[in-house]
Amino acid sequence: MDADTLSRRTLRFVNVAHALDHFVLLIYPTAVIAIAAQTGLGYGELIGLATGAFVAFGLCSLPMGWLADRFGRRTMLAVFFLGYGLSCLGVASAASPVAFAIWLCVLGVASAIYHPVGSTMLVTHARRLGRDLGVNGVWGNFGAATASGITALVAASLGWRAAFVLPGLVCLACGAAFLALVPGDGDGGARKAGLAPLIAVSRPVPLLVVFAIAVVAGGMTFNVTTIAMPKVIDERLGDGLPLALIGSLASAVFVFGALMQLAMGRLIDRYSLPTLFVTLAALQPIGLGLAAVTSGIPMLLGLVLTIAALYGQVVINDAMVARYVPADHRAKAYSVRYFLGFTVSGFVVPMIALLHERGGFGLVLGTAAVFGLVIWLAALAFFGLARGDVRALAPAE
């Protein structure tokens, strides 16, 4: 198989895997509404059972880059597809809180494979970095956007177990197709096209520190918003909304994230990453603050602004790793990047349950707005350090 064909096929499966990764991980936060109605258990107790899934999602990201270097990226992505499918079927079979917790944790481990491995495969086979990152981001956003709506519709018509069984079968089918159509890793056509050059820095440690702070805080805001979204709409947009409508509204909000990712993909190829980073980061505390203190349509507008900023920042952060980290260390760098963002944010689930019990979603979203402010301050620091690097590395006249 020639390099260009391998690259095209690999990118297609990487994009599909991104959609499935976000879709499957967000089934439970919507299905939990139907599970609560059937079992009589409270929202706080049930959502808390997903803690293991989101902690594993981040914690297990760390070794995935190393495993990909040892066993091959193709092998690890195949494990993702097949492991995710089996995990979905396991959750569908759960009949007790303990079984839910165990199978959701297994699902989180499988989910952890995608981002470190898929991001590295994407950068390796990309023809235009910004454009391909933007398109890949839209696929991930499409998965997140449709998760609430499809889960709600399936749960309302076929029961919540079917909401896990059907995606599980899709994951298994994708895994079989991937193994049949993608024979190996390969270098792809990216080297022929020529990726954008690495950005040289004179002070890498301060840049890494502020970037890590932004990643950790971003993981908190991302997970608070995406996990709590269906219940926030349920409680604060209008009483008595049917589950299918709640899910559809949550899905509609995520569409704006997809539009922002497409825009960021184009802008990355034209403007400096630090400038885009600091500009976009400012939208998160504004959107979360608006959602925290309002209800109804203004609250929905705040969520739209927040989701647009969150998903746009994902594209920027992935581009930063691609542009600032040499190719030989990228898989490990993506592992660390997602480990930091997802492990800390795994504690968002019990935090949501605790804060919701103490002060409702006003307190939950207000706390997320504080993390959003931290992101913006870190982005400002990154911008200042990057400008200093440009001056330091400029040739003397």
Pair of tokens at residue 89:
């079927």
Q: What is the DSSP letter of 128?
A: S
CATH of the domain at 198: 1.20.1250.20
Contact 94, 38 (CB under 8 A): no
Task: Kindly tell me the sign of the dihedral angle through the C-alpha atoms of 201, 219, 73, 264.
Answer: negative
pLDDT computed for residue 243 by the predictor = 64
Q: Which domain holds residue 129?
A: 3-393
Classified as helix, coil or strand, 160 is: coil
Residues of the chain with pLDDT under 70: 1, 187-198, 200-202, 238-241, 243-244, 246-247, 345-346, 388-397
pLDDT computed for residue 396 by the predictor = 38
Give the model confidence (pLDDT) of 310-322 as tens digits.
888 888 988 888 8
- Let me know how long the chain is: 397
Give the model confidence (pLDDT) of 107-146 as tens digits.
999 999 999 899 889 988 888 878 888 889 889 878 877 8
- Alpha carbon of 194 to those of 12, 128, 185, 253: distances in Å? 20, 8, 18, 36
Contact 144, 22 (CB under 8 A): yes
* Tokens 């079979």 belong to residue: 93
Cα angle: 224, vertex 110, 177; to 5 degrees:
120
pLDDT computed for residue 137 by the predictor = 84
Residues 6+ apart with CB under 8 A from 347: 51, 55
φ, ψ (nearest 5 deg) of residue 94: -65, 140
Of 138, 141, 146, which Cα lies nearest the Cα of 163? 146
Q: How many domains does the chain have?
A: 1
Measured CA to CA, the distance from residue 393 to residue 241 in angstroms comes to 58
Angle, helices 162-181 vs 129-158, to 10°: value is 140
Burial 144-164 (b: 16+ CB within 10 A, else e): bbbbbbbbbebbbeeebbebb
